[in-house]
Amino acid sequence: FVVPVTLPRASLNAAARGPDRDRLPMPSEEKPNNPEAPHDHRFETYMDALVHFLREQNLNFGMASSGSMCHLVFHNDGDDSECLLHCNVIEKEHCIILFAYTRLNAPEERRLQVNEFLTQATYGMRVGNWEMDFADGEVRYRTSMRMMGVTDCIEFIGPLFRTTLATYWRYLPGIKRVIEGEKPEIVCREIEESKKA
């Protein structure tokens, strides 16, 4: 996986199953009194689990006033690319949703081509999907996970972050190329072939 320097894969692996987790008490086997609460009884809410994960990774993040969303910015060390990651928690649905936004807005004259590229990129994906707002050309990659019944939230949040960021960085150069005028089917084919190499 191509993961930005600001979030090394090793640190996510450590968060998922390394010694840092040993500082947490083990989850209780009792069912929660609050049906919206996580089954991982170390945390009162899924946002608590998410914030714990981010702090364990020493990541800087901002919190929305609603308390249901936090956001981070990742930089690609190889160029000026950025990933604006919004983490949305819907407690009632036991759901964590990650939105990875680009700073690229597809120009109106290239939106059909960019949409074609995103559709081809998404086809066959096991996790997540690319999407574009036709009104302004905003492009983002979205993943989500239902956490109901999960007794160890941290083990699931780490892989969700890894998958989201790896897929984002893999396809971002292709989005740029299509915006600049290259054919979407050719660009997507080259990216898919590079994954198999």
pLDDT in tens, 115-141: 999 999 999 898 999 999 999 999 999
Q: How far apart are CA 75 and CA 173, in angstroms?
A: 14
Task: Locate the DSSP E strands across the chain.
Answer: 62-63, 69-75, 82-90, 95-105, 129-132, 138-146
What's the rounded mean pLDDT across residues 40-51?
A: 91
Gap between the Cα atoms of 160 and 126, Å rounded: 12
> What is the value of pTM for the model shown?
0.79
pLDDT higher than 80, residue 155: yes
pLDDT over threshold 50, residue 30:
no
Which comes out higher in pLDDT, residue 14 or 129? 129
Q: Where are the alpha helices (DSSP H) in 44-110?
A: 46-56
Check residue 18 and give its pLDDT: 34
Is residue 183 scored above 80 in pLDDT?
yes
- Residue 145's pLDDT band (cuts 50, 70, 90): very high
Q: Given a cut of 70, is residue 5 above it in pLDDT?
A: no
